[in-house]
Amino acid sequence: MVSEDRGGRRRVKLADVAAEAGVHTATASRALSPRDDIVAAVSREKRDRVLAAAQRLGYRPNRQGRALRTGHSQVLGLLVPRISDTVLSTFYEGMLAEAQGSGYSVVVANTADNPEQREGFIRELVEHGVDGIIYTDAHLGEPPPTDHGVPVLPAYRFSEPPGGVVVDDEAGGALVARHLIEAGHEHIALLAGFPYASSTTGRSRGFLTELERLGLDVERVPVEHGGLSAAEGRTIAERLLAAPEPLTAVFAVDDHLALGVLSAVHRAGLTPGRDIAVVGYNDLPVARELPVPMSSVAVPLDILGARAARSLLGALRGDAPVSELVAPELRVRESSTRDPADGSSAGHTAVPGAEDSVRPARGT
């Protein structure tokens, strides 16, 4: 018999499913568990009967009741600087796929890249019963979040290396430097983005260090800090293009910044690749679809999100959180392939960042 709630509506309980399937309530509970190891304890025949009964009756698990019984909500939290950020939406998709494979769901909150707001959201998520949290908005040099009773792990960015699952952004910046030097560029500008984020500072540091190693006087390289919007990229590039010493190449540490650079180049009557090389970072899908396809450093953001989720799930089992560097890859396209000396153009190439895509993190 199906019970009713206070409004007289039909409310299916686990006991109803068990009776319909002709099994004990504990067997039905195991058959409907989100954990594969628990489901495996039930025979295939009984599991099929329980699943069929649940579908016939329209059963929906009571997450609150399960959380009270097990002490786990099967929900993870993800904190991002901006929900609209395409980069971190791809990270979220990877994290969600990994979490769902282990019976967890993921809720997302927007911190506006504010550490105080992040701390408030952590407290709020913990109060709502999440089992663990990933945050992607760490600021360099800040202390880790206070102890909240659940694992709270950084990913994508870190506050002090090594920490969390992050991209080897220094290697990514170095890839761009080698590419531009090999193409014959000497007058290069850097749009460095946020000075407080390990992601953008790592890209900038790797870029400048490699330029210096290859013999370029980095004191002559204009370095512009700021945000990561296309509008900011355009404003900075317009100023740089109007300077007395002409540029031949620009590295922007984010694709949105680089799109703004391309806009400024177009407004100045110049052609990317032929007149000035432009390289971005993160390889957003739009980079490949522009009238002059844009070179960019590709980052496996879905893999990053999945590995961060795996680390968090491991921490929930008592494992030590992992620190990994995920290697990027330079995707060379027309926006940076024409040699400024002879006007020649190379085809699309991919420059791998490392032999393996993931390796243990190192301190910097």
Do 157 and 200 fall within a single domain? no
Q: In terms of C-beta distances under 8 Å and separation of at least 24 residues, what long-range contacts does 145-152 make, across chains too?
A: 145/118, 145/119, 146/119, 148/122, 148/123, 150/126, 151/312, 151/315, 151/316, 151/321, 152/122
Do 14 and 154 fall within a single domain? no
- Is residue 349 one of the residues assigned to a domain? yes
pLDDT at 244: 83
- Is residue 310 one of the residues assigned to a domain? no
Among the ranges given (6-15, 74-83, 257-266), the one the predictor scored with the smallest mean pLDDT? 6-15
- Cα 245 to Cα 187: distance, rounded to the nearest angstrom: 8
pLDDT at 236: 94
- Is residue 265 one of the residues assigned to a domain? yes
- Is residue 95 one of the residues assigned to a domain? yes
Task: Tell which residue, 285, 303, 306, 302, has the closest CA to residue 294.
Answer: 285
pLDDT at 114: 92
Mean of pLDDT over the chain: 84
pLDDT digits (tens, 9 = 90+) for 177-212: 999 999 999 899 999 999 999 999 999 999 999 999
**Helices marked H in the chain:** 14-21, 25-31, 36-39, 44-57, 63-70, 86-101, 115-127, 169-182, 198-213, 230-241, 255-267, 301-316
- Is residue 67 one of the residues assigned to a domain? no
Average pLDDT over residues 330-348: 64
Burial class of residue 309 in the structure, from the number of CB atoms within 10 Å of its CB (0-12 exposed, 13-18 middle, 19+ buried): buried
Do 135 and 272 fall within a single domain? no
Establish how many alpha carbons lie within 13 A of residue 50's alpha carbon, considering only the half-sphere containing its beta carbon.
24
285: pLDDT strictly greater than 60:
yes
Do 94 and 24 fall within a single domain? no
Average pLDDT over residues 70-90: 81
pLDDT at 363: 36
Residues above pLDDT 90, as percent of the chain: 47
Q: Are 244 and 271 in contact (CB under 8 A)?
A: no
Among the ranges given (71-80, 84-93, 173-182, 276-285), the one the predictor scored with the smallest mean pLDDT? 71-80
Do 212 and 326 fall within a single domain? yes
Higher pLDDT, 158 or 63: 158
- Cα 61 to Cα 236: distance, rounded to the nearest angstrom: 54
Do 20 and 98 fall within a single domain? no
Do 232 and 344 fall within a single domain? yes
304: pLDDT strictly greater than 70:
yes
pLDDT-based confidence at residue 154 (cuts at 50, 70, 90): very high
pLDDT at 5: 46
pLDDT at 350: 56
Residues above pLDDT 70, as percent of the chain: 84
- Cα 230 to Cα 208: distance, rounded to the nearest angstrom: 23
pLDDT-based confidence at residue 362 (cuts at 50, 70, 90): very low
Q: Are 305 and 95 in contact (CB under 8 A)?
A: yes
pLDDT-based confidence at residue 57 (cuts at 50, 70, 90): confident
- Is residue 11 one of the residues assigned to a domain? yes
pLDDT at 61: 66
Identify the domain boundary among 131, 162, 193.
Answer: 162
Domain that holds residue 325: 167-303+318-360
Identify the domain boundary among 40, 61, 82.
Answer: 61
170: pLDDT strictly greater than 80:
yes
Q: Are 262 and 335 in contact (CB under 8 A)?
A: yes
pLDDT at 56: 86
pLDDT digits (tens, 9 = 90+) for 228-250: 899 999 999 999 998 888 889 99
pLDDT digits (tens, 9 = 90+) for 135-148: 999 999 888 777 77
In CATH, what number is assigned to the domain containing residue 205? 3.40.50.2300
Average pLDDT over residues 320-348: 73
Task: Tell which residue, 254, 295, 248, has the closest CA to residue 169.
Answer: 254
Query: What pTM value is reported for the model?
Result: 0.75
In CATH, what number is assigned to the domain containing residue 36? 1.10.260.40
Phi/psi at 272 (5° precision): -60, 140
Do 197 and 291 fall within a single domain? yes
Q: What angle do CA 224, 171, 78 make, to 5 degrees?
A: 80
Do 142 and 267 fall within a single domain? no
pLDDT at 160: 81
- Is residue 312 one of the residues assigned to a domain? no
- Is residue 309 one of the residues assigned to a domain? no
9: pLDDT strictly greater than 70:
no
Do 97 and 217 fall within a single domain? no
Do 80 and 57 fall within a single domain? no
Amino acid letter for position 39: V
- Cα 74 to Cα 51: distance, rounded to the nearest angstrom: 20
69: pLDDT strictly greater than 60:
no
- Cα 239 to Cα 245: distance, rounded to the nearest angstrom: 12
Identify the domain boundary among 13, 40, 61.
Answer: 61
- Cα 171 to Cα 169: distance, rounded to the nearest angstrom: 5
Task: Tell which residue, 357, 35, 326, 294, has the closest CA to residue 162.
Answer: 326
Do 77 and 128 fall within a single domain? yes
- Number of structural domains (the chain) is 3
303: pLDDT strictly greater than 80:
yes
